[in-house]
Structure 1
């Protein structure tokens, strides 16, 4: 095991043991390196890795601090996985399961503010669809905003953070760039049905509507990759 990895694990242990708490400033570099039994160079490398992981935050001229360690911060690195090119089937299966459960929970917990966000995203989709010239970037942004409103409305911050990380902003934009003429109207209809079920406080229907939508999304991903629509039986099982 490298000394850098030792630093990462030792600092994580200090946090887990309560020696360092969210918002705490790390000891001076010389002091911490001596405490961990590593060189200052290894400590710097380990700290850089912990910053990338969202565990530490380097503040220029002020030192290094433990972040708030919330789910959104710690799960953010997963976004890179969601945007990798290649077969997105396994990742989509996970996202479909989470999106479906989020919709059911949103029907039970969604606030008026979250409903307003979802409606605003739906309205923006409608305006983009009737525009003289299609704007895939706007459609992708409205699509993402709708799903985030539903996920945030689930009342489960970890679920919401996972879905934010797995949203695949770049991958989503690629699909809209290539298939906006196929995806636009169907996405609007699906989102409208999901929102109606959520607003009616019907968790079973909300899950069903979201599951059906995610099957459609899977077919679009398959089309974008050149594989053609996914087989119905596999898509239904995935959702």
Structure 2
């Protein structure tokens, strides 16, 4: 293990063990480096790395603190990395969505309230009356985000949100070039909501797999 990695692991262990809690200030650099048995330069590199991924907050003239460790904060770093991916990585992102979106739909089927379901129906109704491509894509993003939020799992919702941006271009492209894409999307969304309303988790999972896989397969053909 590289020396910097050892320093990162040491700080992580302090957080995981509870010795350092969200909002706590790290011990002075000299004291911490001696405790970890590492050089101060290695410790500084570790702190920089953990600050990038929002685990630590370096405050000039004040010290270094553990952040709130809230999911949205930590996932900002992941979103940044995903946005840097090249276009040929979009298929890989869809492959991950094919795993996570059905999991979100399945989980939502167990906990969705009437208000959640009515909100999803409302999103569908809004786009049916105005089937513009930009409106459709905005609807698609909002629809999947609402299902993810409904699960109550902020990490899952954050992961899915971090992957939405890089797939927008593919969604627009499909809407423009594939006949019937708008109606197909709306029909598939209605079917998913129907399964959620019945509390049929396996069906919601299966419908979400088919929905995301359909876009994935279209993209594979379009980029072949």
State the TM-score bracket (shorter-chain normalisation): 0.7 to 0.9
After superposition, the C-alpha distances for 1:149-184 in whole angstroms (9 at most, x for unaligned) are 11222244443343334x3412x1221342222333
Deviations 1:112-140 (A, max 9, x none): 4533543454345446524xxx43xx543
* Cross-structure match for 1:201: 199
Residues 1:15 and 1:41: Cα distance change in structure 2 (over 3 Å): same
For residue 109 of structure 1, report the CA deviation from its aligned partner. Answer: 0.4
Give the TM-score, by structure 2 length.
Answer: 0.79
User: What SS does structure 2 have at the residue aligned with 1:7?
Assistant: helix
Partners of 2:196 and 2:204 within 8 A in 1: yes
State whether structure 2 residue 156 is matched by structure 1 residue 154. Answer: no
For structure 2, list consecutive stretches of 5 or more residues without a partner in the other structure. Answer: none
More off after superposition, 16-25 vs 87-96: 87-96
Q: Tell me, yes or no, if the aligned pair for 2:141 and 2:164 is still in contact at 8 Å.
A: no
**Mapped partners of 1:191, 1:59: distance in 2:** 46
Determine the structure 2 residue equivalent to 1:23.
23
Q: What's the CA shift string for 1:36-92, capped at 9, x where partnerless?
A: 344443322211111222322334554332123344444554443474432544543
Aligned twin of 1:100: 102
**Structure 1 112/65 Cα, relative in aligned 2: closer, same or farther at 3 Å?**
farther
5 Å-filtered alignment, 1:83-98, equals 83-86=85-88, 88-98=90-100
Partner of 1:187: 185
- Counterpart CA distance in 2 for 1:59 and 1:110 is 41
Q: Residue 152 and residue 39 in structure 1: after superposition, are their counterparts in 2 closer, same or farther (change >3 A)?
A: same
Query: What is the CA deviation profile of residues 178-230 of structure 1, one whole-angstrom value per residue up to 9, with x for unaligned ones?
Result: 22223333222211221222123222332232122122111232144x22xxx
Is 1:144 aligned to 2:146, yes or no?
no
Q: Using the TM superposition, give the Cα deviation of residue 8 of structure 1 relative to its aligned residue in structure 2, in angstroms.
A: 1.0
Per the normalisation by structure 1, the TM-score is 0.75
Q: Structure 1: where are the runs of 5+ without partners?
A: 228-239
Bigger shift: residues 16-25 or 37-46: 37-46
Quick one: structure 1 residues 123 and 17, their matched pair in 2 at CA, closer, same or farther if it must change by over 3 Å?
A: same
Q: Is the 8 A contact 1:33 1:43 kept in 2?
A: yes
* 8 Å CA contact retained: 1:114, 1:152: no
Q: What RMSD, in angstroms, separates the aligned Cα atoms of the two structures?
A: 2.9
Instruction: Count matched residues.
Output: 219
Shift in Å, 1:12: 0.6
The 2-side partners of 1:14 and 1:50 are apart by 13
CA shift, 1:105, in A, is 1.9
SS in 2 for 1:86: helix
Q: Distance in 2 between matches of 1:107 and 1:66?
A: 36
1:174 aligns with 2:174: no
